[in-house]
Amino acid sequence: MTFAFDNTYARLPERFFARQAPVPVPQPRLIKLNEALAHQLGLDPEALRSPEGLAMLAGNQVPAGADPLAMAYAGHQFGGFVPRLGDGRAILLGEILDPRGERYDIQLKGSGRTPFSRGGDGRAWLGPVLREYLLSEAMHALGIPTTRSLAAVATGELVYREAGPLPGAVLTRVARGHVRVGTFEYFQARQDTDALRQLADYVLARHYPEARASDQPYRALLVAVVARQAELVARWLGVGFIHGVMNTDNMSITGETIDYGPCAFMDAYHPGQVYSSIDHGGRYAYGNQPQIAQWNLARLAQALLPLLDPDQDQAVAQAQAVIDGFAPGFEQAYLACFRAKLGLLEAQEGDADLIDGLLRAMAATGADFTNSFRALNAAAAGAEGPLRAQLGDGGPATAWISRWQARLAGETTSPQTRSAAMRRANPAVIPRNHQVEAALEAAVAGDLKPLDTLLQVLAQPWDAGPGGEEFQRPPAPHQVVQRTFCGT
């Protein structure tokens, strides 16, 4: 047996989902298999490569013990509420326990139409499937909570998008859970308090058992989700990541990065940077992500009001107090992240201003985000050249560097300890947009070597290694990617 399923979500009431088997595809072909993840989950890679394994990964065969379903949820999309979304092109096969007893969802994306497809074909095409595979694994290597990709399978059929016919594909996604803020909104919109309670109890039991033991478990649940999202967004900012479509249906209750659509990692730093082709107003720009996260979490708090207190005023007061706690929680996580990036291992007053000063200097010169912070490693050891190349050699840069060096000198941390810590905080390589697009273009054309090479480099983000210099270089002007697309 390849998967040993133990399905808890499928045991919830029928209104939580629609039972739906994956729709078979004509000619499945394995494109990528994540052997490291397979081993972590206690799965046999060779069994997954077998005809039976491939049939399961493609959706042509429902594995024994699976209970396939499409999850119901709603969501605020660019601020507007849609009361019924749901998995329109994804099927949750079920849940497995890894060798340590940790539970993971196994989901097929691009597996055909469901009752939530809203007229869509329920399929995905190869480019976005490989994009999610690449970016989610890069995020995992950076140590940031994320869903992951177990396999990408070509389907042997064409899907039709605005660009015309494109090769179809299915992604096997692994996550600690797929409950979203929008899942709670779905039942709130229906005034189904019983379902809200069942969903909250389910999330408490599966993901937040420590909150379940609280005297006020639903308030403790909200506190825990707020804390995880504050930490997650702070870590996104620390690597220059822009999610691109932070709708409430794309915010996981588990605190994992989910739904890699028009996301991107910044090259030149600017707090207003947007890549998503559908984010015309910059709602989900790099610097707006903390406020959007808090806004999304306020929607979760609204959904939970009936569970917080029978008195509406008391419930609102409790919810508001928790949501107000997002900002200080985020600030604490943000400062911890960026202090580490600057080599500041002892918290002091004025650190926030020092961090902001660097970012202002970077924005003024269009400095490369990743390479600027990596250059701090060398500057802390006395080699200022790479940092000055990013910030310029004028008075403001010199003043900031002097202030930073004086701040470092005031710590008792040894240079060796600081250097090691800074290397762990400042990656050498990220998935640069032009390199991602080039690798995906080659893969769609049948050449997987650039994709494989990029995956290997991104698996060790803290050290580019021999020959890795090309992956550290920002794009030339003609290589700059201005827009990214959902595309699935």
Catalytic residue positions?
249
E-state strands within 127-240: 148-161, 164-175
Return the number of other C-beta atoms located less than 10 Å from residue 482's C-beta. Answer: 8
The residues that bridge with 169 in the sheet, in sequence order, are 124, 154
Give, as one character, the DSSP assignment of residue 11: G
Return the number of other C-beta atoms located less than 10 Å from residue 115's C-beta. Answer: 15
**Residue-level length of the chain:** 488
Give, as one character, the DSSP assignment of residue 283: T
Residue 168 CA to residue 444 CA, distance in Å, equals 10
Residue 349 CA to residue 326 CA, distance in Å, equals 21
How many Cα atoms are found within 13 Å in the side-chain-facing hemisphere of 84? 11
Q: In terms of DSSP H, where are the helices of 311-350?
A: 312-324, 326-342
CA distance between the termini of the chain: 31
Residue 276 CA to residue 332 CA, distance in Å, equals 28
User: In the numeric block, which tokens belong to residue 192?
Assistant: 């189904």
Q: Which helix (H) or strand (E) holds 293?
A: helix 289-308
What is the β-pairing status of strands 148-161 and 241-242?
unpaired
Residue 274 CA to residue 38 CA, distance in Å, equals 34
Q: Which of 262, 271, 312 is nearest to 135 (CA)?
A: 262
User: In the numeric block, which tokens belong to residue 383?
Assistant: 């080699």
DSSP 235-258: HHHHTTEE-S---GGG-BTT--B-
Scan for tokens 């010199």, then name that residue. 398
User: In the numeric block, which tokens belong to residue 370?
Assistant: 């990743």
Give, as one character, the DSSP assignment of residue 475: P
